[in-house]
Structure 1
Amino acid sequence: MSKLTRVELTALPHKPRGGGLEIQRSWSRLVATHAVVSGLFTTLNDLRAAQDDMRGAISETHRDQARAAIVFTAAGIDACLRTLLRDALHTLLLADGSAHGAFIKHFRDGRLQGELTEATKRAVVDIDPRSALIDLYVNDLAGSSIQGAEDLAKCRNALGLKKDPALEGSILESHQPFFDARHEVVHELDLIDPSGKGTRGRRHRDIAAVGEQCDGALHLLYAFISPTARAVKQARRDMGWNET
C-alpha cells in the first residue's frame, strides 16, 4: 500500500451569483490559478511516487515544485484582487456606501493633501477622470504586489467589506506566513543567508504545509469575490439597474 501523502488543493466553491461582469474576470483568474497550482502539485505527487523509496527524503527538486506553487498562487492573488477592485469599484462607487466612503477618505486624507503629485493631476484632468482615479486608487492599494495582511485589509476596506466576518483581521493575519514565504522564495531565492555571507543553504519547505497555505490563500480569494458579488448586486438594485 502506498505510503505517499498526496499534496492537493480542495475544490473551489461554485461561482458566486449576482456579480455580473464586475466579478467575471477576477473569477476567471482565480479558476485559472487554481488549475495551474493544482497541476504543479499533481506533478510533485507524480515525481515523489516515482521514487524508489517514497519514504525517503524529499529532494530539492520536489521542494522547488512547492516553491513554484507559492509563486504562482501569489501571482494569482495579485491579479485576482487587482482585477476585482478595478471591475467592481466602477459599480460600487456609484452608490453611497462603505466602498465610496473608503474611496473619499483615501483621496481626502492622502493624495489630495498638500502638493498634488503628477499622477494625481493627470488623473483629475484625464478624459475619463473617474476611471483614471480608480486606476490610481487600485495602484495605491495593491502596489506592485500584495505583501500581506495589511494590504489585504486595504483591499477589503476598499470593497466595502470591512465588516465581513470571513475577512476579519485575525483571518487575514493568519495568511501572513504565506506572504512571508513568497517573499523568501521570490526575493531571497529561499536562501537562509541571502546576503551572500556565511552559509547559503536553502530553507526547508514542508510541502504539505505549502499545500495548505496555497489552498487557504486561494479560498481566501473566494471570500473576497463572493461578498463583492452580493455588494454589486445590491448596488445595482439600489440604482434601479437591471441585473446581469
Structure 2
Amino acid sequence: MSKLTLVELSDLPRKPHGCPPEVERSWARLVAAHKSVAGLFTTFNELRAAQEDMRGAISETHRDQARAAIVFTAAGIDACLRTLLRDSLHTLLSTSGDAHGAFVSHFMRSRLNGEMTKATKKAVVDIDPRSALIDLYVEDLAGSSIQGATDLTRCRNALGLEKDPALDDAILNGHQPFFNARHEVVHELDLVDPSGKGSRGRRHRDIAAVGAQCDGALQLMHAFIAPTARTVKAARRTMGWDTP
C-alpha cells in the first residue's frame, strides 16, 4: 500500500453554527453525497492495492469507479442546490435584499415580459402563489440538472450571494471542467467519438484529477450552504422569528 497514491476526499468543513431549519436538508444531502463519493474512492484504492503490480496501468474497471464518482458528485450538487433553493428562498424572499431583487428581476425579465406562459399563469392563480412561483423559479434556475458555471452563477445570485468572494465568477468558472466530464460520462459513456465515426475508445481520465475535481465540487457546496445559513438567520431575525 505504501507504493499506492491514494485518491481521497478532503473532510467537509464543520456544519454552519446554529444551522437554521431552511438549510438543514441541504446540509444533510451534502454529507450523504460526500460519504457516497468517499466510499467509491475507498473501493478504488482497495482495488488498486489488490493488483499484483500496483505500478501497472489502471484498468477500465478501476476507471469506472472514477466515472461513478463524477456522476455521484454531480447528483449531490443537484440535490444540495435544489434543496437549498427550495427551502431557503421562502424565508429570503420574505425580506428585501439581494435575493428578493434577483427574484423580481428574473420574473420581470423572463416570465412577465410579454405573453405569460401557461405555467406562469397557473402559478399566479395557485392556492399558494408564492410557493408555486418559487417552485417555478427553481426550475428556471436549475433546469433538469446543474450543467455548469452558468447554472451555478444563477443559483448564487438567486440566493443573494453575488458579492461573496468564495463564489466569484472566476471560482465558479473554474469548476466547468468537472461539469464537462459529467456530461461526457452521462451522455456519451465517455466514448471519444459517441457519433460512431472514427475511434470510439473511451476517454482516458487522470484519476488524481478526477479526485480533485470531485473534491472541489463538494467543497463548493459548503461555500453555498454556509453563507446562505447566515443570510437566512439574518432574515429570520428581521422578521422576529425564533432562530436555532
TM-score by length of 2: 0.99
What does residue 149 of structure 1 align with? Answer: 149
Distance between the aligned counterparts of 1:25 and 1:99, measured in 2?
A: 20
What's the C-alpha RMSD, in Å, of the aligned pairs? Answer: 0.7
What does residue 127 of structure 1 align with? Answer: 127
Q: Deviations over 1:78-135 (max 9, x none)?
A: 0110000000001000010000000000001110111111110110010110000000
**Structure 1 unaligned runs (5+)?**
none
Offset at residue 211 of structure 1 (A): 0.4
Distance between the aligned counterparts of 2:77 and 2:122, measured in 1?
A: 28
Q: Note the 1:69-88 alignment, pairs <5 A.
A: 69-88=69-88
Identity of matched residues, %: 77
Q: Deviations over 1:142-180 (max 9, x none)?
A: 000111111000000000000000000000011000000
Distance between the aligned counterparts of 1:28 and 1:207, measured in 2?
A: 27
What does residue 13 of structure 1 align with? Answer: 13
What does residue 44 of structure 1 align with? Answer: 44
Q: Note the 1:113-192 alignment, pairs <5 A.
A: 113-192=113-192
What does residue 235 of structure 2 align with? Answer: 235
Which aligned segments of 4 or more residues in structure 1 are displaced greater than 4 angstroms?
none
Distance between the aligned counterparts of 1:26 and 1:237, measured in 2?
A: 21
Distance between the aligned counterparts of 1:6 and 1:110, measured in 2?
A: 47
**Structure 2 unaligned runs (5+)?**
none
The number of aligned residues is 244
TM-score by length of 1: 0.99
What does residue 67 of structure 1 align with? Answer: 67
**AA paired with 2:232?**
V
Offset at residue 238 of structure 1 (A): 1.2
**18-27 or 150-159: bigger deviation:** 18-27
**15-24 or 216-225: bigger deviation:** 15-24
Offset at residue 19 of structure 1 (A): 3.5
**AA paired with 1:163?**
K
Offset at residue 239 of structure 1 (A): 1.3
Distance between the aligned counterparts of 1:71 and 1:8, measured in 2?
A: 16
1:32 paired with 2:32, answer yes
Distance between the aligned counterparts of 2:53 and 2:19, measured in 1?
A: 49
